[in-house]
Structure 1
């Protein structure tokens, strides 16, 4: 069964100040027919400067949970890991808010 979903991430959900604050990010999630045996595809629609995001296409490629995928990993785990990446990289300069892949 395939599953597609878009998720909105709001930068004001952090308890510390970050360069993601006051921004809204749209994240495309695609679970293919072999999910949960294989990881979903995660792709930012808005440009987002994070080490785990391919800057050419917005795809989340370099996230440990995706590289070490287990069937028991959930979408919630992935969203939490992305939020943790945003906090860990809070000082990274971000592209303009109206920039998209």
Structure 2
């Protein structure tokens, strides 16, 4: 969202917003432990995305690479994308059978705001991995998938 003169706000159209996110994802984020990009460059609606998180240090997730799928429906960014781990993981906000990040158990999805991005989701998931309830949970063997 951008402020215009006189305090009026301009809503950035969905596709422009997604193009901004794609550009940012392609440039690399922060320390490189979180990344994302579009699955199919021919998808003009930019719905299906892949995210990657390298597990945080000093946790059972350290040096593991987790792959996720994010799906931005037509209502994105007004509504959050659906998020599902492709790599098996054991953390409290993820359904153990499907890999779906359950919105009611994951704050950023439960209290979604239009200004949030896919990057925000991935960064918060990485923080969730390092949180006390999750940092020592027994994990599935590395390289297993839902």
TM-score by length of 2: 0.63
- Secondary structure in 1 aligned to 2:122? helix
> Which residue in the other structure is 2:34 paired with?
none
How far, CA to CA, are the matches of 1:2 and 1:66 in structure 2?
Answer: 20
Shift of 1:99: 2.0
More helix by share: 2
How far, CA to CA, are the matches of 1:72 and 1:8 in structure 2?
Answer: 21
Alpha-carbon RMSD across the aligned residues, in angstroms, is 1.2
Structure having greater relative contact order (Cα 8 Å, sep ≥ 6): 1
> Which residue in the other structure is 2:141 paired with?
96
How far, CA to CA, are the matches of 1:10 and 1:2 in structure 2?
Answer: 24
Shift of 1:84: 0.7
Match of 1:75 among 106, 110, 118: 118
How far, CA to CA, are the matches of 2:89 and 2:124 in structure 1?
Answer: 15
Larger radius of gyration: 2
Shift of 1:2: 4.6
> Which residue in the other structure is 2:51 paired with?
7
Change (3 A) 1:32 1:2: farther
The unaligned stretches of length 5 or more in structure 1 are: none
Match of 1:84 among 119, 123, 127: 127
Q: Does 1:60 align with 2:101?
A: yes
Match of 2:90 among 49, 53, 61: 49
- Secondary structure in 1 aligned to 2:108? helix
